[in-house]
């Protein structure tokens, strides 16, 4: 009789490779792969909604830098003790390539970038965000593997068969004697892919419009992020707000807000937009050409 022993998920032996003097980081590769996929899918969805080819790539030239800045700002503000204070180097707050991008800041400021670029091209914002939202879920799923390369943002100790092995150097204070932890990067990856499937199905089934794809994206993502965040043991400055981590509260607030927006949009503007461009000015027509 064959005995099946529990298996664990090993962490990578390294997260950085060097091509001569150039470091190739697993974290960055995951982020880049996610961005490329989001642009590709967003382009297909935008054309299907009546947009023009190439516009999503143009929008991304604004959205991606804004998102990176926003993600880093959120991380630094909520984990400022890592960069400021005694024996800390504030310059390291600029080291994006070492990891540390807060998804809430990335989405918020990335949406600002989308808004600026869309307005400049005469594109209505909500149809564009609806086209982009599902691809962002997959991008987030791919980006979470960057945490695996960095051995960061894992959960509480566990001996489950799918536990994640963490090297001693990466274990937080108080957990040195534990070798395996919840692979929260994997939980979130799988949750995001499931949410992607739900959002895509709902969009096709109900022809969602007027920001409802975006709202459903926020709802499905935050529903998973809340319980996954609760498992994590990484230190954050605002780690306990009325008994919950800050990011758990953020998930709750965003879920409620998105649910309200979905309900209001469905009640006041049913169906999907028939026009994705502004057509009320000569300037807009010129920008479209």
Tokens of 16: 């950085």
pLDDT at position 129: 98
pLDDT at position 247: 83
Domain that holds residue 54: 22-166+173-276
Query: How do the pLDDT tens digits run along the chain, 289 residues long?
Result: 344 445 899 999 999 999 999 999 999 999 999 999 999 999 999 999 999 999 999 999 999 999 999 988 888 887 777 788 777 878 877 777 666 788 889 999 999 999 999 999 999 999 999 999 999 999 999 999 999 999 999 999 999 999 999 999 999 989 999 999 999 999 999 999 999 999 999 999 999 999 999 999 999 999 999 999 889 988 765 566 677 788 888 899 999 999 999 999 999 999 999 999 997 644 444 444 4
140 falls within a domain: yes
pLDDT at position 280: 62
How many angstroms separate the Cα of 125 from the Cα of each of 5, 43, 113, 275, 278? 53, 15, 11, 12, 10
pLDDT at position 99: 65
State the virtual CA torsion across 120, 126, 128, 131 in degrees, nearest 10.
180
How many angstroms separate the Cα of 58 from the Cα of each of 3, 116, 118, 119? 56, 11, 9, 12
Domain count, the chain: 1
pLDDT at position 244: 79
Q: What pLDDT, in 10s, does the model give residues 155-214?
A: 999 999 999 999 999 999 899 999 999 999 999 999 999 999 999 999 999 999 999 999
209 falls within a domain: yes
Cβ neighbours of residue 129 closer than 8 Å, sequence gap 6 or more:
111, 114, 211, 213, 214
Q: Cα-flanking dihedrals φ and ψ of residue 182, to 5°?
A: -65, 130
Q: Cα-flanking dihedrals φ and ψ of residue 42, to 5°?
A: -60, -35
Cβ neighbours of residue 64 closer than 8 Å, sequence gap 6 or more:
35, 110, 113
In the block, tokens 């005995």 appear at: 3
How many angstroms separate the Cα of 77 from the Cα of each of 72, 102, 136? 9, 10, 23
219 falls within a domain: yes
Q: What's the rounded Cα separation, in Å, for the pair 111 and 117?
A: 10
pLDDT at position 236: 61
272 falls within a domain: yes
Q: What's the rounded Cα separation, in Å, for the pair 60 and 189?
A: 23
């Amino acid at each position: 009789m064959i005995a099946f022993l529990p298996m664990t998920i090993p962490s990578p032996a390294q997260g950085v490779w060097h091509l001569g003097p150039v470091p190739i980081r697993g974290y960055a590769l995951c982020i880049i792969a996610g961005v490329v996929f989001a642009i590709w899918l967003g382009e297909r969805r935008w054309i299907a909604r009546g947009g023009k080819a190439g516009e999503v790539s143009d929008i991304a030239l604004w959205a991606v830098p804004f998102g990176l800045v926003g993600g880093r700002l959120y991380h630094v503000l909520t984990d400022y003790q890592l960069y400021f204070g005694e024996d800390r180097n504030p310059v390291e707050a600029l080291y994006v390539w070492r990891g540390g991008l807060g998804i809430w800041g990335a989405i918020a400021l990335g949406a600002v970038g989308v808004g600026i670029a869309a307005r400049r091209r005469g594109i209505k914002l909500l149809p564009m965000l609806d086209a982009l939202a599902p691809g962002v879920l997959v991008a987030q799923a791919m980006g979470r593997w960057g945490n695996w390369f960095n051995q960061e943002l894992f959960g509480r100790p566990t001996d489950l068969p799918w536990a994640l092995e963490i090297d001693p150097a990466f274990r937080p204070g108080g957990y040195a004697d534990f070798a395996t932890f919840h692979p929260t990067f994997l939980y979130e990856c799988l949750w995001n892919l499931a949410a992607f499937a739900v959002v895509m199905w709902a969009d096709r089934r109900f022809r969602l419009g007027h920001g409802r794809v975006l709202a459903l994206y926020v709802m499905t993502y935050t529903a998973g992020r809340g319980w996954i965040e609760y498992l994590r043991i990484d230190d954050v400055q605002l780690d306990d707000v009325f008994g919950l981590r800050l990011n758990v509260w953020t998930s709750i607030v965003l879920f409620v807000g998105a649910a309200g927006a979905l309900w209001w949009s469905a009640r006041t503007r049913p169906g999907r937009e028939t026009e994705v461009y502004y057509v009320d000015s000569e300037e807009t027509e010129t920008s479209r050409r």
